[in-house]
Amino acid sequence: MKRVAPAVLPLIAVDRKSPTPLHRQIYNAYRAAIVGRTLRPGQALPSTRALASELGISRIPVLTAYEQLLAEGYFESRVGAGTSVSSSLPEQVPSRPSPGASQTRVDSGARPVAQRCSLLAPMQQAPWVHSWGPFGISQLALEHFPFQVWSKLMARHYRTPLLGALYYGDPMGMPDFRKAIATYLRTSRAVHCEAEQIMVVSGSQQALEISTRVLLDSGSPVWVEEPGYRFARDVLALAGCKLIPVPVDEEGLNVAAGIQRGRKARAAYVTPSHQYPLGVTMSASRRLQLLDWSQRAGAWIIEDDYDSEYRYGNMPIASLQGMDRNSRVIYIGTFSKVLFPSLRLGYIVVPQDLVTQFRTVRVALDLSPPQLHQAVLADFIRDGHFARHLRRMRQVYGERRRVLVETLRNELNCLQEVVGDGAGLHLTAMLKKGFSDRAISASASRQNLWAAPLSGAYLGEPTNQGLVLGFGSTRVEEIPRAVRKLQALCASV
């Protein structure tokens, strides 16, 4: 026989000293909860036995109350499914809550919120929730993820978890995982680091948040790339930093322009491997200029190396952190592009002398990172699955990117040029004069195409119009049709 799943006990209190009989108190409490919509139609209710036991009373008054609520149509009961709030409530239940029923009133009195809330553009819904069509940014070929291996490793750790993995962990992250990350970064990104410098975080976003709290004050001037990554700017803006947009050209961040606009900035946020969104790789001379400026100015460089694992055709370029001789670079990386974003795992490489400050701030924010996924990923790396997956994905994405570039060049008449396709999981289709990326993007989204407007990535006036196109989750055979759709849109706006 199928067992009825136990329901959560509702917040019902009875007063034995009250002249109101217990069954009436229970009836009243349930009725008020249903009328006030605390309990919703169809919601499962606890058994009379469970409620009586929770209230510490005999079962009889509970049975009496349930019978009355069933008779009046507030409850319904089906064999094998237990008792639940009726899915079609009786007529006498008022559609508006009765006076005194719980409802938040928002139309009177002062309701102050922090001024910093107004610093960010309101976000009704996150953009990635709207669309899963072709060209989504930050979307991946998840059909190639080795879920079988992953679930075996998960099962191993969940079946017999080490006690330590269930308690709060090291605020910097699990030692074995940090060792694996340090080895990977030294080997593949030429990052100078030891495991003690690695802090495990829930992605680049938290990495930036912690770095900002350690390094910057409200009012601190910070260079940000123009155009740039909105979600990084949001973290800095929320901390009250003064954002100084510094133009990006074909060599990456224009350091001379940065010095002109804010020589004494406290930090620079950069994506040197694959600039977001233009996709350029910062040249060696610009890297040296940036490091030189940071040393002279006593400034920090926050290097966001978010998708450097993917390079196509050209030689891999070492991290900026690896070129730095003055420990001025805070290096941030993520597993969002290599594994999957909902994993929420990333890391910071913290300069040796700042480890204590970073650890202290981390504890104040969330004590320590969740442990079980760290343990699973440490095994995934140690057993060679990570390297295998990465090799495979480079081929998959390389092919998608090749077909996309070719099709854009052949089919998209409004295309000026493709930029930023040498690395990563997105490229930018620069548009010819006269085309509006926002107009094309808006009509594309109505056709389930995600063509993000380049102009949306500017803090100031956009100097270019383009479409930022992700190719991670767009299959080779889907690309020609999607590009043709885009072409039809460009022709009609």
Q: Where does this chain bind ligand PLP (CB under 6 A)?
A: 138, 203-205, 229, 271, 276, 304, 306, 334, 336, 341, 346
Q: How far is the CB of 228 from ligand PLP (least distance, A)?
A: 8
Q: For ligand PLP, which is the closer residue by CB, 335 or 435?
A: 335
Q: For ligand PLP, which is the closer residue by CB, 23 or 400?
A: 400
Q: For ligand PLP, which is the closer residue by CB, 204 or 487?
A: 204
Compute CA distances 356 → 197, 199, 301, 367, whole Å: 10, 11, 19, 14
Closest CA to 138 of 331, 339, 314, 330: 339
Structure tokens at 138: 């930050």
Q: For ligand PLP, which is the closer residue by CB, 178 or 426?
A: 426
Element (H, E) at 382: helix 372-382
Exposed / middle / buried, residue 466 (Cβ in 10 Å: 0-12, 13-18, 19+): buried
Q: How far is the CB of 229 from ligand PLP (least distance, A)?
A: 4
Q: Which residues contact 188 (CB under 8 A, 6 or more apart)?
A: 309, 316
Q: How far is the CB of 65 from ligand PLP (least distance, A)?
A: 50
Q: For ligand PLP, which is the closer residue by CB, 86 or 206?
A: 206
Q: For ligand PLP, which is the closer residue by CB, 76 or 225?
A: 225
Q: How far is the CB of 112 from ligand PLP (least distance, A)?
A: 30
Q: Which residues contact 141 (CB under 8 A, 6 or more apart)?
A: 393, 396, 397, 400, 472, 473, 475
3-state class percentages of the chain: helix first, strand second, coil last, to nearest 5: 45, 15, 45
Q: How far is the CB of 432 from ligand PLP (least distance, A)?
A: 26
Q: Which residue(s) pair with 303 in the sheet?
A: 270, 331
Structure tokens at 199: 């802090």
Helix axes 372-382, 385-411, angle to 10 degrees: 90
Q: How far is the CB of 109 from ligand PLP (least distance, A)?
A: 37
H helices present in 131-254, as ranges = 147-159, 163-166, 175-189, 204-215, 230-238
* φ, ψ at 349 (rounded to 5°): -100, 110
Q: How far is the CB of 296 from ligand PLP (least distance, A)?
A: 26
Q: For ligand PLP, which is the closer residue by CB, 128 or 147?
A: 128
Compute CA distances 6 → 18, 47, 53, whole Å: 30, 8, 14
Residue keyed to tokens 């043709």:
484
CA–CA separation, 279 vs 401, rounded Å?
13
Q: For ligand PLP, which is the closer residue by CB, 43 or 464?
A: 464
CA–CA separation, 271 vs 251, rounded Å?
12
Q: For ligand PLP, which is the closer residue by CB, 65 or 330?
A: 330
Q: How far is the CB of 306 from ligand PLP (least distance, A)?
A: 3
CA–CA separation, 319 vs 407, rounded Å?
32
Q: How far is the CB of 192 from ligand PLP (least distance, A)?
A: 21
Q: How far is the CB of 204 from ligand PLP (least distance, A)?
A: 3
Q: For ligand PLP, which is the closer residue by CB, 182 or 208?
A: 208
